[in-house]
Amino acid sequence: MQRVLNKRIFRDLKVNFFRYFALFLLITVGMYLIISLVGAADTVVVNVNEAADRNQVEDGQFTVFIPLEENTIEQLQNKGISLEKEFYLDYALANGSTVRIYKNRDQINRIELDEGSLAVDKDEIVLEKHYAQKNDFSVGSEIEIGGKLFRVTGIGSSPDYDAALKKMTDSSVESAGFGTGFVSAAQYDQLKENGNASKSEECVYSYRLNGIMTADELKDLLAKLKIDRSKVTDTYFLEMLDELEKSKTETQQAISELSDGTNKLSRGLIELESNNEELKNGASAIFKQSLQETSKTLSAYGLGTELTEDNYQAILNNIIDGSSNSSTALQTKAALKELNSLKDFKEGTETYTNAEEDAANSSKELADGVSELKNKTEKLMNEYFTVDIDNLTQFVEKGNNPRIGASVNDVMINKYAGMVAGVIIMVLFTYVISVFVIHGIEKDSTIIGTLYALGATSKQLMKHYLTLPVMITFFAGMIGMIIGFSPMGVGVQSVDTASYYSLPVLNTVYPVYLLLYGIVMPSLVAIIVNYLVINKKLSQPALKMIRNEQKQNKISNVNLGNIKFIRRFQIRQFLREIRTSFTVVFGMFIALLILMMGVDCYVLCNNMSSNSKADTTYEYMYSYKYPTKEVPEGGEAGYAESLKKEAYGYDLNVTLLGMDQDNKYFDFNVAKGKNNVTISQSVATKYHLSVGEKLVLTDDVKNIDYAFTIDRIVPYSVGLYVFMDIDDMRELFNQKEGYYNVVFSDKDLNIDSGKLYATTTKNDIVRNSEVFINQMRPMVVSLISVSVIIFVVVMYLMMKVMVDRSAFNISLMKIFGFRQKEIQKLYLDGNFIMVAVAAAFCIPLAKKAMDLMYPYLIANVACGMDFSFSWQVYIAIYAGVMLCYLGINWILTGRLQKMKPAEVLKNRE
């Protein structure tokens, strides 16, 4: 029996060759796309990881103000840590691009050459592959850097620049404008001495932990390192230290001058005190001598009274009062006056010397107090008023470095999405096949019933009806897999990744699981879907099948009221073919989902490009390493801190920018307060934030979390930016009044490059924003094309099944005299309403679904999520769907014309 049934398989294939061939091609194309996409992802992952191991990719890197001392490096290496000194200099070239120059690496992040050799001698250089390609450099070419001519000896890549981002906060790679170069150590030192770099040297160390300690433990060790001023040679850094030490020095100098003054005063008063006794004795002696001389004078006049300090005034006053001789009285008065003056002098001298003695004692105490104040001030200054600066300025682990492994992160998303999409597409295609099988079962109902009566089992028939779908899916999957692994598959799919990321040469890999996926999955899905769909059909009683009794769908008998005949017929026809209609709608949704992926990709890139151009109103942005005391004339100051926030499993850089309320380059004001921030639209969409919610940003170096309340959302799309009042931000981050590290300007300010981290121009931002559009355009075209093909084929096959299932009724109508247009109106035009309504529903649903899914596809990209497009795009998509339907409808009209009234005779009792 089974051999008899098997003969019908090839007959069925021959009769319905077109429909099965179309599905065979669709499955082949689908599997080709899935296998090539996933295979390309695995090829990238395996090759990149192998190259990373081969070239000893870093476990992380850190940046310091000044180079580590040799004993510090030795201590870390003695602990088992591997360190590589990867200092670099940036040079602006005549063509507007920037080349970052490194020394050749010895241990970590070694260069992998695609061609040529390493730079060994002076005047030789190795260039990063994409920069070389975009700027037409090859081995043997010459390039001028820093006023010096170099010969390109090699082209290659390094694992720490998998994504060759100029800054870690950049959202896209712009290979034409930035690349890396590697020279010998001697050549690097010569370039540094020439001083023609566009910014100061960056002191970066890469490390490998070798299982000795954790990254946090290493960061804690490095955080304890302070800057030894005696080791600093950078002029600008010394100027910054001098500025920080200025107030401390002024305070210490004032205290020292006060101490010197009090010491001088004390010494002077003590010296005066040493003469006090002699001064008092002299004044007392003069007074006593004057008393004795006055006593002698009185004795000469017969008044022999001896005068003392206590009685002289009384005695002399009595003589004056009792004397009748006016001359004697006058002389006595003169003597009394003189004695009183001498007594006052004696007493004044005593008062002065006593006061001077007290002052001397007090000045000594004052000098001692000021000396103690000076000592304590020195101690306090050294303890609290320090200018010790943490040498560690940045610490980035490999997993948080957007330059390392970015290609792997990118394609891993493609890999998982591709495998899930492959199953969904196979379910769709195999369900379409099941519709054909059911149609065949219904046509063969009488034969199947007869076979049951002759002893055939449902298991045999199930095997028979599963054979063709399984064969088609198996061979289609096999061929799709073979093409997918060919250069036309993996090779083509790898091009976009390899042209964007700086990767080693990619050798195709053949994972066992993917081979099994391509061979087993299509057939397995076909078995499961078809078994579930057709099992019920084959389980009907033999007599019922012999009579070809078709079960009427209850929903087709619904009361439609007084609707006109044509509309009622169309509705009932739709209800009778509800299964097939569902397949059309499901296929439409899948096709629209793929279409929306391409549209969202284009819209996101286009919106990011146009918004970045509109939002960037400055021409230059200078990021300072050593800010000057005064903002350069013509510049607007800002204060920027680079913090982190996790999104979809990736830690991305978010820039917190402090600015004045009247900054002319940003047409919005920011809220006051240390806890209030204004966020850009890109941050709001990336992290799904709204006004009033909390935003937590992390400082990885200091291990501090900052929590802010969102006060406002503003339309700004240049990277991930959060805005804050600059004075509040200075207070929050303990910076002095007037501090800044960013300057915006509409003209070149000619700032000394040694003071800068980087200079970003508006042209750089515009150029970076256009990279994604150029990069994604081929993929967008492919997605849209595939979606159209799937939609057209599925709709055509399903609508054709609808027509074929109604062949008897259509032939009967022709016998009854219905014209071609009338039959078309009854059996085809009714589908117009179904397609029109389904498209109106599926287009926004597919858009919403893709808007929710797409952020996961670009989770590792630091950009906003603006997927919005105008209503005209919805209208255009809707019009495209309807045009496809009208084209298919026109083709099926020809199918109606081929149906003959003789079809009725084939189904007579």
Q: Is residue 862 part of a domain?
A: yes
Q: Are 904 and 721 in contact (CB under 8 A)?
A: no
Mean pLDDT of 644-655: 83
Q: Which domain holds residue 784?
A: 553-614+760-909
User: Are residues 449 and 408 part of one domain?
Assistant: yes
Helix (H) or strand (E) holding 395: strand 392-397
How far, in Å, CA of 827 to CA of 813, rounded?
Answer: 11
Nearest by Cα to 510 from 495, 490, 494, 488: 490
Q: Is residue 722 part of a domain?
A: yes
Q: Which pLDDT value is given to residue 231?
A: 58
The 3-state DSSP class for residue 153 equals strand
Helix (H) or strand (E) holding 276: helix 276-300
Mean pLDDT of 174-188: 91
User: Are residues 882 and 809 part of one domain?
Assistant: yes
Mean pLDDT of 447-468: 77
| Residue 636: exposure state from Cβ atoms within 10 A (0-12, 13-18, ≥19) | buried
User: Are residues 66 and 183 part of one domain?
Assistant: yes
Mean pLDDT of 453-478: 82
The 3-state DSSP class for residue 129 equals helix
User: Are residues 432 and 365 part of one domain?
Assistant: no
Contacts of 430 (CB under 8 A, 6+ apart): 469, 473, 522, 525, 526, 529, 530
Q: Is residue 40 part of a domain?
A: yes
Q: Are 66 and 231 in contact (CB under 8 A)?
A: yes
Handedness of CA 661, 667, 673, 675 (dihedral sign): negative
Helix (H) or strand (E) holding 705: strand 704-714
pLDDT-derived band of residue 875, with 50, 70 and 90 as boundaries? very high
pLDDT-derived band of residue 384, with 50, 70 and 90 as boundaries? very low
- The owner of tokens 């250069």 is 487
Nearest by Cα to 397 from 57, 52, 58, 60: 60
Q: Are 485 and 508 in contact (CB under 8 A)?
A: yes
User: Are residues 557 and 498 part of one domain?
Assistant: no
Q: Are 827 and 571 in contact (CB under 8 A)?
A: no
Mean pLDDT of 466-487: 88
User: Are residues 377 and 271 part of one domain?
Assistant: yes
What φ, ψ does residue 287 adopt, rounded to 5°? -65, -45
Determine the number of helices (DSSP H) and then strands (DSSP E) in the chain: 26, 20
* Highest-confidence segment of 310-319, 569-578, 607-616: 607-616
How far, in Å, CA of 169 to CA of 164, rounded?
Answer: 12
User: Are residues 308 and 200 part of one domain?
Assistant: no
User: Are residues 258 and 165 part of one domain?
Assistant: no
Specify the DSSP class assigned to residue 160.
Answer: G
Max intra-chain CA distance, the chain: 188
Token couple for 487? 């250069």
Specify the DSSP class assigned to residue 489.
Answer: I
Q: Is residue 754 part of a domain?
A: no
**Quick one: three-class SS letters along 518-570?**
HHHHHHHHHHHHHHHHHHHHHCCCHHHHHCCCCCCCHHHHCCCCCCCHHHHHH
pLDDT at 324 exceeding the cut of 70: no
What φ, ψ does residue 484 adopt, rounded to 5°? -60, -35
pLDDT at 98 exceeding the cut of 70: yes
| Stated pTM of the model | 0.69
| pLDDT, tens digit, 9 for 90 and up, residues 350-371 | 676 777 666 666 666 666 665 6
| pLDDT, tens digit, 9 for 90 and up, residues 219-258 | 888 887 766 655 555 555 555 656 655 666 666 666 666 6
Q: Is residue 654 part of a domain?
A: yes
pLDDT at 48 exceeding the cut of 50: yes
Handedness of CA 664, 665, 670, 673 (dihedral sign): negative
Token couple for 754? 């040694």
User: Are residues 785 and 734 part of one domain?
Assistant: no
Q: How many domains does the chain have?
A: 5
* Highest-confidence segment of 145-154, 251-260, 319-328: 145-154
DSSP H helical segments within 669-761, as ranges?
Answer: 681-687, 726-732
pLDDT at 774 exceeding the cut of 60: yes
User: Are residues 558 and 545 part of one domain?
Assistant: no
pLDDT at 131 exceeding the cut of 80: yes
User: Are residues 218 and 136 part of one domain?
Assistant: yes
pLDDT at 604 exceeding the cut of 70: yes
Task: Look at 184 and 381; give whichever has higher pLDDT.
Answer: 184
Domain boundary (551, 583, 599) is at: 551
Q: Which of 159-168, 220-229, 523-532 has the lowest mean pLDDT?
A: 220-229
How far, in Å, CA of 222 to CA of 226, rounded?
Answer: 9
Contacts of 545 (CB under 8 A, 6+ apart): 445, 446, 448, 449, 452
The rounded mean pLDDT for the chain is 79
pLDDT at 759 exceeding the cut of 50: yes
Q: Is residue 396 part of a domain?
A: no
Q: Which pLDDT value is given to residue 179?
A: 93
Domain boundary (747, 775, 794) is at: 747
Token couple for 661? 């309320």
Specify the DSSP class assigned to residue 903.
Answer: H
Q: Give 574-627 as a DSSP string.
A: HHHTHHHHHHHHHHHHHHHHHHHHHHHHHHHHHHHHHHHHHH---SEEEEESS-
pLDDT-derived band of residue 909, with 50, 70 and 90 as boundaries? very low
- 178, amino acid identity: F
CA angle 167/168/172 to nearest 5° reads: 80
| pLDDT, tens digit, 9 for 90 and up, residues 250-290 | 666 666 666 666 666 666 656 666 666 666 667 677 767 77
Q: Are 582 and 489 in contact (CB under 8 A)?
A: no
Q: What's the CA dihedral at 49, 53, 59, 64 to 10 degrees?
A: -110
User: Are residues 885 and 790 part of one domain?
Assistant: yes
Mean pLDDT of 871-889: 87
Cα→Cα distances 297→292, 320, 338, Å: 9, 14, 14
Q: Is residue 389 part of a domain?
A: no
Task: Look at 567 and 699; give whichever has higher pLDDT.
Answer: 699
Q: Which pLDDT value is given to residue 313?
A: 67
How far, in Å, CA of 407 to CA of 39, rounded?
Answer: 14
Helix (H) or strand (E) holding 658: strand 650-659
Q: Is residue 903 part of a domain?
A: yes
**Quick one: three-class SS letters along 838-863?**
HHHHHHHHHHHHHHHHHHHHCCCCCC
| Residue 677: exposure state from Cβ atoms within 10 A (0-12, 13-18, ≥19) | buried
Mean pLDDT of 688-693: 90
Q: Are 126 and 153 in contact (CB under 8 A)?
A: yes
Domain boundary (747, 771, 793) is at: 747
